[in-house]
């Protein structure tokens, strides 16, 4: 399923011959887009890593007050769509655009993808290795750099991978900030120039960038096993006392929270107070119901579809397992408009009755957001020792019964974290929904986009606020699911 959009895009890009395709690639404009895309990718991934790992270490390994509050506050930015964040910053700071604006907005929107798995893993890691490093004369910082980072590597790489894939497919926030990347250029080709071939050529280049990112992540991940059988003699985490640095650390967390949550909250509050100035009142009821129903259906379908592939990847490092994983990630790196147009081509050509139905829209969501569920489900399965299933089968259970009785309960919370991530993504998805939604179906994201595109910010604010409120309760699932999947 995930490979179908890739095949359609490649065939469309080269339908006039490889010479024409390469002629389109070797243009100065492509070089500019490449520099913009790679610059945004590198800067945002680095900043998100620093913010996510630093915040996770402060919250989980130091004696700062308010640990429970910070766990929630530093995950809450996931409830604020990136295009709502860019809307808020643009309203606050005139002329807020370009690379600097894009890096700020995307870093503040996506650093929780790094914080969430790293914090969960730091919370449950055995501190014995770190104690051994200190006994050999290493200080706290050197111990964390040499031992702690090696232990959190799987969680860190998974989080950074999600950040990178989201950046490659990001459209709404970058369009608002007037920062051109391959994704915005692809949509321009499809919507403005009505040139699907040039758009497909750009999409092939984007797939190449995604393939490079995935290869680097695969090489960095390695083949080290990260599970253990039994709890063993796990030592409780000893929290560091920062002493005089405590006020500075608290100030850093407060500032990060204020920038990631305070600015959107202030901007939405400002425009909500001016709701009477809207050109037309918000139609929240039907729009909220459409968003909720599509989110739930797509999250269930995507999570269930992920389990077999995640099981194969977690239990086997064969070439086939790696290929399955890489294909899902490359497909998800494509902009929603590319996946949508590929599915439109397939449905019109082969299954016309499905054209512009909820079924095709849910398939698009599954293709786009499989990695969100994959990262969480794969980690949850990897944290369940395969020896437990072997023991259950030795005691007389068949494979299905052993999975349902022993392994499924242990991986359930981690899998539910993936469900929550998919639900949040579906409720905030924009471009594929605009193209594939059945006639008359509107979501909170599309309603917000239409209102903000016409500069009717007072009408857009209620939809943005509803998106935040709808996504916020899933923070509970994310926090508890990630905590569970990090246990070994």
Domain match, 262 and 318 both: no
Domain match, 50 and 169 both: yes
Handedness of CA 4, 5, 9, 12 (dihedral sign): positive
Instruction: Give the three-class secondary structure for 104.
Output: helix
Domain match, 305 and 357 both: yes
- Asked which of 273, 308, 343 is the last residue of a domain, the reply is 273
Domain match, 460 and 339 both: yes
Domain match, 406 and 290 both: yes
Per the structure, the complete domain to which residue 391 belongs is given by 283-487
240 φ, ψ to 5°? -80, 140
Do the domain assignments include residue 239? Answer: no
- Asked which of 240, 273, 306 is the last residue of a domain, the reply is 273
Maximal CA-CA distance, the chain: 70
Do the domain assignments include residue 229? Answer: no
Q: How far, in Å, CA of 311 to CA of 306, rounded?
A: 8
H or E element in which residue 115 lies: helix 112-124
Domain match, 162 and 94 both: yes
Do the domain assignments include residue 235? Answer: no
pLDDT of residue 237: 64
H or E element in which residue 303 lies: helix 284-315
Do the domain assignments include residue 231? Answer: no
Q: How far is CA 325 from CA 309, 341, 367, 424, in A?
A: 7, 23, 12, 22
What string of pLDDT tens digits covers the 488 residues of the chain? 677 777 887 887 787 677 777 877 888 888 999 999 999 999 999 999 999 999 998 988 888 888 888 988 898 888 788 888 998 898 888 888 899 999 999 999 999 989 988 887 777 666 666 666 666 666 666 666 666 677 778 788 888 988 998 898 888 889 889 899 988 888 777 766 555 677 778 888 888 888 888 888 878 876 555 555 454 455 556 777 778 888 999 999 999 999 999 998 898 888 888 777 666 666 788 899 999 999 999 999 998 888 887 878 777 767 777 777 777 777 776 778 788 878 888 888 888 888 889 999 999 999 888 877 887 787 777 767 776 766 777 777 777 777 767 777 777 777 777 888 888 889 888 888 988 888 888 898 888 888 877 767 788 888 888 888 887 777 666 665 555 444 44
80 φ, ψ to 5°? -105, 110
Domain match, 320 and 264 both: no
Do the domain assignments include residue 32? Answer: yes
Do the domain assignments include residue 396? Answer: yes
Q: Where are the beta strands (DSSP E) in 424-481?
A: none
- Give me the number of domains the chain comprises: 2
pLDDT of residue 250: 93
Do the domain assignments include residue 240? Answer: no
Domain match, 291 and 171 both: no
Q: Which two tokens stand for residue 55?
A: 């915040």
Domain match, 261 and 318 both: no
Domain match, 189 and 324 both: no
- Asked which of 215, 244, 273 is the last residue of a domain, the reply is 273
Buried b (16+ CB within 10 A) or exposed e, 78-110: bbbbbbbbbbbbbbeeeebbeeebbbbbbbbbb
Domain match, 301 and 260 both: no
SS (H, E, C) 377-427: HHHHHHCCCHHHHHHHHHCCCCHHHHHHHHHHHHHHHHHHHHHHHHHHHHH
CATH number of the CATH domain containing 350: 1.10.3720.10
Domain match, 213 and 353 both: no
């Amino acid at each position: 399923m995930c490979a179908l959009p890739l095949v359609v895009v490649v065939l469309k890009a080269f339908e006039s011959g490889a010479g024409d395709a390469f002629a389109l690639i070797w243009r100065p404009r492509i070089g500019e887009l490449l520099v913009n895309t790679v610059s945004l990718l590198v800067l945002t991934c680095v900043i998100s890593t620093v913010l996510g790992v630093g915040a996770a270490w402060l919250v989980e390994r130091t004696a700062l007050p308010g640990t429970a509050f910070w766990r929630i506050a530093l995950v809450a930015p996931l409830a604020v769509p990136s295009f709502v964040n860019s809307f808020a910053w643009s309203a606050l700071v005139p002329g807020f655009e370009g690379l600097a604006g894009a890096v700020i907005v995307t870093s503040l929107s996506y650093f929780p993808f790094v914080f969430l798995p790293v914090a969960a893993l730091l919370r449950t890691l055995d501190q014995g290795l770190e104690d051994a490093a200190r006994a050999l004369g290493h200080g706290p910082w050197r111990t964390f750099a040499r031992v702690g980072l090696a232990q959190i590597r799987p969680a860190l790489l998974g989080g950074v991978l999600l950040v990178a894939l989201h950046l490659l497919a990001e459209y709404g926030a970058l369009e608002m900030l007037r920062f051109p990347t391959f994704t915005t250029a692809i949509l321009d080709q499809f919507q403005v120039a009505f040139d699907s071939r040039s758009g497909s050529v750009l999409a092939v280049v984007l797939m190449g960038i995604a393939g490079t990112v995935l290869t680097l992540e695969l090489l960095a991940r390695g083949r080290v096993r990260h599970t253990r059988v039994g709890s063993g003699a796990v030592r409780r985490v000893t929290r560091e006392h920062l002493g005089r640095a405590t006020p500075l650390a608290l100030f850093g967390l407060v500032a990060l929270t204020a920038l990631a949550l305070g600015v959107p909250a202030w901007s939405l509050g400002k425009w909500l107070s001016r709701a009477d100035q809207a050109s037309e009142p918000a139609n929240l009821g039907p729009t909220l119901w459409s968003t909720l129903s599509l989110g739930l259906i797509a999250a269930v379908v995507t999570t269930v579809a992920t389990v077999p592939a995640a099981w194969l990847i977690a239990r086997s490092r064969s070439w086939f397992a790696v290929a399955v994983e890489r294909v899902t990630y490359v497909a998800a790196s494509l902009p929603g408009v590319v996946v949508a147009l590929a599915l439109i081509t397939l449905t019109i050509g082969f299954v016309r009755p499905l054209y512009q139905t909820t079924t095709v829209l849910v398939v698009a969501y599954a293709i786009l957001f499989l990695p969100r569920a994959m990262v969480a489900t794969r980690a949850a399965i990897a944290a369940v020792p395969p020896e437990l299933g072997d023991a259950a089968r030795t005691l007389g259970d068949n494979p299905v019964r052993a999975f349902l009785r022993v392994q499924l309960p242990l991986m359930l919370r981690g899998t539910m974290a993936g469900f929550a991530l998919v639900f949040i993504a579906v409720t905030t998805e924009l471009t594929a929904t605009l193209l594939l939604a059945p006639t008359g179906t509107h979501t909170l994201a599309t309603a917000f986009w239409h209102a903000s595109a016409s500069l009717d910010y007072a009408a857009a604010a209620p939809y943005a606020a509803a998106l935040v409120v709808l996504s916020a309760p899933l923070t509970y699932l994310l926090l508890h699911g990630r905590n569970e999947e990090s246990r070994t």
